[in-house]
């Protein structure tokens, strides 16, 4: 059995799951924007829908993230070693999580709905941070290392 290939498959699939949940969230937030912004004081159940979705999305994203990390560590430990490229990728992932979580705590958690469009744009700033870091990790992984 080719354990390296299996671990790589698990690693790539879990990274794609993590990445995919970010895109799905972006599309949902774009769809809900008219209901959660503006002067409409009756936002209905949309804030609850968003909150429920984010809780479920977080479970999937966390699982993908954790599996990607564990499989990456196993790949490094058993097959690739702790080389400079592995350490760079590890550092980029840590930076991505720190930036994303820091921004969520600072800008996203305080939001109350309905909110202004300028406040709602904080969501898009979060996706800019997250997707930029994904692009950086993938770019460094495939083109520089």
Q: Looking at residue 36, what is its pLDDT?
A: 92
pLDDT in tens, the chain (145 residues): 899 999 999 999 999 999 999 999 999 999 999 999 976 677 788 999 999 999 999 999 999 999 999 999 999 999 999 999 889 999 999 999 999 999 999 999 999 999 999 999 999 999 999 999 999 999 988 887 6
Q: Looking at residue 143, what is its pLDDT?
A: 85
Q: Looking at residue 40, what is its pLDDT?
A: 66
What is the model's pTM?
Answer: 0.88
Distance from the first to the final alpha carbon of the chain? 27
Core vs surface per residue 11-49: b (16+ CB within 10 A) or e: beebbebbbebbeebbeebeebbebbbeeeeebeebbee
**pLDDT of 43-80, one tens digit each?**
788 999 999 999 999 999 999 999 999 999 999 999 99
Q: What angle (nearest 5°) sits at the alpha carbon of residue 101, between those of residues 96 and 106? A: 130
Burial of residue 131 (number of CB atoms within 10 Å: 0-12, 13-18, 19+): middle
Q: What angle (nearest 5°) sits at the alpha carbon of residue 73, between those of residues 70 and 75? A: 110
Length of the chain: 145
């Amino acid at each position: 059995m080719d354990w390296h290939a299996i671990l790589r498959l698990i690693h790539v699939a879990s990274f794609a799951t993590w990445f995919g949940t970010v895109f799905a969230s972006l599309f949902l937030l774009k769809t809900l924007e008219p209901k959660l912004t503006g002067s409409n004081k009756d936002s209905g159940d949309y804030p609850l829908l968003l909150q429920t979705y984010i809780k479920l999305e977080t479970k999937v994203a966390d699982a993908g993230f954790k599996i990607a990390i564990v499989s990456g560590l196993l790949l490094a430990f058993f097959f690739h070693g702790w080389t400079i490229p592995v350490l760079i990728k590890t550092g980029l992932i840590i930076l991505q999580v720190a930036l994303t979580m820091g921004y969520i705590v600072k800008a996203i958690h305080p939001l109350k709905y309905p909110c202004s469009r300028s406040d709602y744009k904080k969501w898009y700033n979060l996706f800019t941070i997250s997707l930029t870091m994904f692009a950086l990790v993938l770019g460094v992984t495939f083109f520089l290392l």
